[in-house]
Structure 1
Amino acid sequence: MSNSASIDGYLHVEGFDKFERDAFDKRKIRAAMRKVGLLVTQKAQMNLALGHGQDGYPVNRTGATVESISFKVSRSGFLVRISPTKTSAMEAFYPAYLHYGVKKGKKLGKLAPGKGKGKSNRRAQGARAAALAERAAGEWRIKPRDNYMADALQDSSSQVELILKAGFAGALT
């Protein structure tokens, strides 16, 4: 399971780097990308729906996160992006809260008048760093969950590669 914002959710197909983009029929490339997008989207939705909070995935209560997972093929057609998007059913974009987590305690704000040092009401030296370290060491209000999107791509990477290689080979003009 991956729980990082690294390049885990990226797949590059080798073998077609030597060709210019103009050498490919973009309709066929876009069709292959749509096929791949649908495959990985369905896998991610299945991971989330069947996970039920196991394996570090979020619990599926209303289905809003599952329904928000969609794909979009880029304008050029050589890239597909699969991600949860904010829908009208969501008050806030909470897949981000689920992935990164939320710490307990409030953010460090301005000092109340008269609580700091001197005329400019500053904190004591090192007080801000100590308060930030205390908050970072504290408990999670919402624990970070595993990245079901990267796991879906990783699980279906062999199928994705086969579909894209066939799509690129058939699109050469």
Structure 2
Amino acid sequence: MATLGNPQGGSYVHVDFQGMKTIDFNRRIVHRAFSKIGQTIQKDARNRISQRHGSKPGEDPGYWSGATARSIGYYVPTASKNRPGFMVKIAPNQKRGKGMTPLKLHQGPGSSGFYPAYLFYGVRRGAVRTKSHHKGASGGSGWRIAPRGNYMTAALANKKYWTERMLFNALRRAVKPEPI
């Protein structure tokens, strides 16, 4: 018996074999599925921020030089004795990420930080606060860069059903039970 889905959110797959002597499991099929998932979500996240326009607060970031889009990569770890290797990481500046270019910050004041974090959390005007500094005292909204939308979670949510179905089918192909 096999079930797919989780009423509390997230992904859940349960496979139950009754009356089976042994079960053969092919890791390569599942590993390949995670790679395909990483490639697809990476492409979707890049497409979300590749529109050449300015962005407004709450929207996906706009495209200026393409560095943020090129920095998105995915990584499927290999199995070891301590971890099974059944996961994929997709993020900007992903360590050992496939298909990514490191996001290098320019030199100068105000460039010490992770740019995608600035986009997500935003930057307040006058970030160095003094005793007399009040939020929005200079007029305006008080934001130098207002928070933008989280394009990574939006890309993942956009492909959630496809990802669950892909993993379910890969597990079904990878597991070969032998009857008693």
TM-score (norm 1): 0.68
**1:163 Cα deviation (Å)?**
0.9
Q: For residue 104 of structure 1, what is the aligned residue in structure 2?
A: 125
Partner SS state of residue 74, structure 2 = strand
Give the partner amino acid of 1:26.
Answer: R
Q: For residue 26 of structure 1, what is the aligned residue in structure 2?
A: 27
Q: For residue 121 of structure 1, what is the aligned residue in structure 2?
A: none
1:49-72 deviation per Cα after TM superposition (whole angstroms, max 9, x unaligned): 137326611111100001001111
Q: For residue 38 of structure 1, what is the aligned residue in structure 2?
A: 39
Q: For residue 90 of structure 1, what is the aligned residue in structure 2?
A: 105
Give the partner amino acid of 1:82.
Answer: I
For residues 106 and 34 of structure 1, what CA distance do their matches in structure 2 show? 40
Any gaps of 5 or more consecutive residues in structure 1? 1-9, 110-126
Give the partner amino acid of 2:126.
Answer: G
Decide which structure has greater helix share: 1
Question: 1:106-145 maps to which residues of 2 (within 5 A)?
Answer: 106-108=127-129, 134-135=134-135, 139-145=142-148
8 A Cα contact 1:69 1:84, kept in partner: yes
1:109-165 deviation per Cα after TM superposition (whole angstroms, max 9, x unaligned): 7xxxxxxxxxxxxxxxxx7xx96xx44996111111001111111111121111111
User: What percent identity do the matched residue pairs reach?
Assistant: 31
Decide which structure has greater strand share: 2
TM-score (norm 2): 0.65
For residues 159 and 149 of structure 1, what CA distance do their matches in structure 2 show? 16
In structure 2, relative to structure 1, the CA distance for the partners of 1:165 and 1:67 (3 Å cut) is same
For residues 17 and 139 of structure 1, what CA distance do their matches in structure 2 show? 56
How many residue pairs get aligned? The number is 140
